A = this chain, B = another copy of it.
Amino acid sequence: MSLHQKFRMTRQRQVILDELKKVHTHPTADQVYAMTRGRLPRISLGTVYRNLEILSASGLIQKLELGRAQKRFDGNAENHYHIRCVSCGCVDDVMCSILTSIEQDLCKTSEYEILGHRLEFLGVCPRCKDKRTGTRKKMKKGGSYGIKGVTD
Protein backbone atom coordinates (compact mmCIF):
# COMPACT_ATOMS: atom_id res chain seq x y z
CA MET A 1 0.00 0.00 0.00
CA SER A 2 2.64 2.48 1.03
CA LEU A 3 5.53 2.58 -1.45
CA HIS A 4 6.94 5.27 0.75
CA GLN A 5 9.01 2.49 2.19
CA LYS A 6 11.31 0.30 0.15
CA PHE A 7 9.84 -3.02 -0.73
CA ARG A 8 11.52 -6.41 -0.62
CA MET A 9 11.24 -9.07 -3.22
CA THR A 10 10.12 -11.91 -1.03
CA ARG A 11 9.53 -15.37 -2.35
CA GLN A 12 5.75 -14.92 -2.19
CA ARG A 13 5.91 -11.67 -4.08
CA GLN A 14 8.18 -13.10 -6.74
CA VAL A 15 6.02 -16.15 -7.31
CA ILE A 16 2.89 -14.04 -7.61
CA LEU A 17 4.58 -11.80 -10.15
CA ASP A 18 5.91 -14.81 -12.01
CA GLU A 19 2.60 -16.56 -12.27
CA LEU A 20 0.91 -13.41 -13.40
CA LYS A 21 3.44 -12.79 -16.14
CA LYS A 22 3.06 -16.36 -17.24
CA VAL A 23 -0.59 -16.14 -18.24
CA HIS A 24 -2.56 -13.88 -20.52
CA THR A 25 -5.71 -14.25 -18.54
CA HIS A 26 -6.73 -11.64 -16.03
CA PRO A 27 -7.08 -13.61 -12.84
CA THR A 28 -8.90 -12.51 -9.71
CA ALA A 29 -7.14 -12.50 -6.36
CA ASP A 30 -8.43 -15.92 -5.43
CA GLN A 31 -7.36 -17.29 -8.80
CA VAL A 32 -3.88 -15.92 -8.20
CA TYR A 33 -4.02 -17.55 -4.80
CA ALA A 34 -4.83 -20.87 -6.45
CA MET A 35 -2.11 -20.36 -9.06
CA THR A 36 0.57 -19.82 -6.45
CA ARG A 37 -0.33 -22.61 -4.06
CA GLY A 38 1.44 -25.14 -6.19
CA ARG A 39 4.75 -23.49 -5.41
CA LEU A 40 3.79 -21.97 -2.08
CA PRO A 41 1.41 -24.33 -0.30
CA ARG A 42 1.39 -22.21 2.84
CA ILE A 43 0.70 -18.80 1.30
CA SER A 44 -2.37 -17.03 2.59
CA LEU A 45 -5.05 -15.16 0.72
CA GLY A 46 -4.27 -12.05 2.72
CA THR A 47 -0.69 -12.12 1.51
CA VAL A 48 -1.88 -12.47 -2.05
CA TYR A 49 -4.11 -9.44 -1.67
CA ARG A 50 -1.36 -7.41 -0.07
CA ASN A 51 1.16 -8.29 -2.72
CA LEU A 52 -1.15 -7.70 -5.64
CA GLU A 53 -1.77 -4.28 -4.19
CA ILE A 54 1.91 -3.54 -3.79
CA LEU A 55 2.89 -4.89 -7.20
CA SER A 56 0.26 -2.83 -8.95
CA ALA A 57 1.09 0.29 -6.97
CA SER A 58 4.69 -0.14 -8.02
CA GLY A 59 3.69 -0.48 -11.65
CA LEU A 60 4.87 -4.03 -12.17
CA ILE A 61 1.39 -5.30 -12.84
CA GLN A 62 -1.96 -3.73 -13.48
CA LYS A 63 -5.03 -3.80 -11.30
CA LEU A 64 -8.33 -3.93 -13.18
CA GLU A 65 -11.45 -2.62 -11.57
CA LEU A 66 -14.06 -3.36 -14.15
CA GLY A 67 -17.59 -2.59 -13.17
CA ARG A 68 -18.12 -3.57 -9.60
CA ALA A 69 -17.08 -7.12 -10.24
CA GLN A 70 -14.17 -8.73 -8.46
CA LYS A 71 -10.84 -7.05 -9.09
CA ARG A 72 -8.64 -8.67 -11.67
CA PHE A 73 -4.92 -8.43 -12.24
CA ASP A 74 -2.95 -8.15 -15.42
CA GLY A 75 0.69 -9.20 -15.75
CA ASN A 76 0.93 -6.82 -18.66
CA ALA A 77 1.58 -3.45 -17.11
CA GLU A 78 1.21 -1.51 -20.35
CA ASN A 79 -1.78 0.72 -20.77
CA HIS A 80 -4.47 -0.99 -22.79
CA TYR A 81 -8.21 -1.44 -22.72
CA HIS A 82 -10.23 -4.50 -21.84
CA ILE A 83 -13.45 -6.15 -22.80
CA ARG A 84 -15.55 -8.15 -20.40
CA CYS A 85 -17.99 -10.88 -21.32
CA VAL A 86 -21.35 -10.15 -19.75
CA SER A 87 -22.15 -13.83 -19.89
CA CYS A 88 -19.18 -15.58 -18.29
CA GLY A 89 -17.29 -12.61 -16.86
CA CYS A 90 -14.04 -13.37 -18.63
CA VAL A 91 -11.78 -10.48 -19.56
CA ASP A 92 -9.69 -10.05 -22.70
CA ASP A 93 -7.34 -7.39 -23.94
CA VAL A 94 -8.56 -5.01 -26.62
CA MET A 95 -6.08 -4.14 -29.30
CA CYS A 96 -6.98 -0.57 -29.96
CA SER A 97 -5.09 2.61 -29.44
CA ILE A 98 -5.47 4.63 -26.30
CA LEU A 99 -7.72 7.65 -26.63
CA THR A 100 -5.50 10.57 -25.83
CA SER A 101 -7.53 13.44 -27.15
CA ILE A 102 -10.65 13.00 -25.07
CA GLU A 103 -8.85 14.00 -21.91
CA GLN A 104 -7.33 17.03 -23.54
CA ASP A 105 -10.72 18.06 -24.88
CA LEU A 106 -12.27 17.69 -21.48
CA CYS A 107 -9.48 19.71 -19.90
CA LYS A 108 -10.55 22.70 -21.91
CA THR A 109 -14.12 22.66 -20.73
CA SER A 110 -13.99 21.11 -17.30
CA GLU A 111 -13.36 22.66 -13.95
CA TYR A 112 -11.80 19.40 -12.87
CA GLU A 113 -8.14 18.69 -13.06
CA ILE A 114 -8.28 15.67 -15.35
CA LEU A 115 -6.08 12.81 -14.25
CA GLY A 116 -7.15 10.00 -16.51
CA HIS A 117 -9.92 7.91 -17.90
CA ARG A 118 -11.08 4.38 -17.71
CA LEU A 119 -12.63 2.69 -20.69
CA GLU A 120 -14.02 -0.79 -20.74
CA PHE A 121 -16.02 -2.67 -23.33
CA LEU A 122 -18.83 -5.08 -22.71
CA GLY A 123 -19.69 -7.93 -24.99
CA VAL A 124 -20.21 -11.61 -25.45
CA CYS A 125 -17.08 -13.66 -25.88
CA PRO A 126 -16.68 -16.13 -28.77
CA ARG A 127 -17.03 -19.06 -26.41
CA CYS A 128 -20.33 -17.85 -25.01
CA LYS A 129 -21.61 -16.93 -28.45
CA ASP A 130 -21.05 -20.53 -29.47
CA LYS A 131 -22.77 -21.91 -26.41
CA ARG A 132 -26.10 -20.27 -27.17
CA THR A 133 -26.61 -22.56 -30.13
CA GLY A 134 -28.27 -20.72 -32.97
CA THR A 135 -31.07 -19.14 -30.94
CA ARG A 136 -29.78 -15.61 -31.16
CA LYS A 137 -29.42 -12.59 -33.36
CA LYS A 138 -26.28 -11.15 -34.94
CA MET A 139 -23.96 -14.13 -35.18
CA LYS A 140 -20.64 -13.02 -36.64
CA LYS A 141 -18.89 -15.61 -38.69
CA GLY A 142 -15.72 -13.76 -39.76
CA GLY A 143 -12.30 -14.89 -38.76
CA SER A 144 -10.28 -11.76 -38.11
CA TYR A 145 -9.65 -10.64 -34.60
CA GLY A 146 -8.45 -7.72 -32.61
CA ILE A 147 -8.60 -9.21 -29.21
CA LYS A 148 -5.90 -11.33 -27.72
CA GLY A 149 -7.55 -14.68 -27.51
CA VAL A 150 -6.97 -15.90 -24.02
CA THR A 151 -9.52 -16.01 -21.32
CA ASP A 152 -10.66 -16.31 -17.82
Q: A interface vs B, CB < 8 Å?
A: 65, 67-68, 71, 83, 85-86, 92, 94-96, 99, 102-103, 105-106, 108-126, 129, 138, 140, 144-147, 149
Contacts and interface: CB of A to CB of B under 8 A. Distances in A.
One complex includes copies of this chain to the number of 2
A144 B109 contact: yes
Interface on chain A toward B: helix, strand, loop, or mixed SS? mixed
A89 to B, nearest CB: 13
Contact of A114 (B108, B109, B111, B123): B123
13 contacts: A83-B112, A96-B102, A99-B99, A99-B102, A106-B121, A111-B140, A112-B124, A112-B126, A113-B124, A116-B122, A117-B120, A118-B120, A119-B119
Contact of A119 (B95, B111, B117): B117
Nearest to A125: B112
Contacts of A102: 96, 99
Nearest to A64: B68
